[in-house]
Amino acid sequence: MICDGIENCLQYIHNFDPSKSTNPFAYFTQIIYFAFLRRISKEKKQLEIKAKILEKSGFDEVLYTDSHTGDMAGYNSSHSDMNSIKETLEMRSKR
């Protein structure tokens, strides 16, 4: 997000007109604010796309973990993460 804000500031720095405004801070704050909103919107769309792909592909097969994967501490952590993802997807599909 920060990089998006900086990139937009550099992209539009030439549009700042000191004769119209004496507050460049406000100008760049607005540029960064809208860059953040655009990034949040893009990320939200990507998250929805990922969820739809998982739902259509059958998330049980995608989220399968093998119980013989080395140490059990890592397995238990990843297994609980998978369960929380499954629960989230199941709740979304019931809506």
Domain edges within the chain: 1-56, 58-95
CB atoms inside a 10 Å sphere around CB 18: 9
Q: Please calculate the CA angle 46-78-86 and round it to the nearest 5 degrees.
A: 55
> CA-CA-CA-CA torsion for 20, 24, 27, 28, nearest 10 degrees?
160
- Angstrom distance (rounded) from CA 65 to CA 61: 9
Taking only the tens place, the pLDDT of each residue in 28-85 is 999 999 999 999 999 999 988 888 887 777 665 655 555 545 554 555 556 676 677 7
pLDDT over 90 (residue 95): no
CB atoms inside a 10 Å sphere around CB 57: 10
Whole-prediction pTM? 0.57
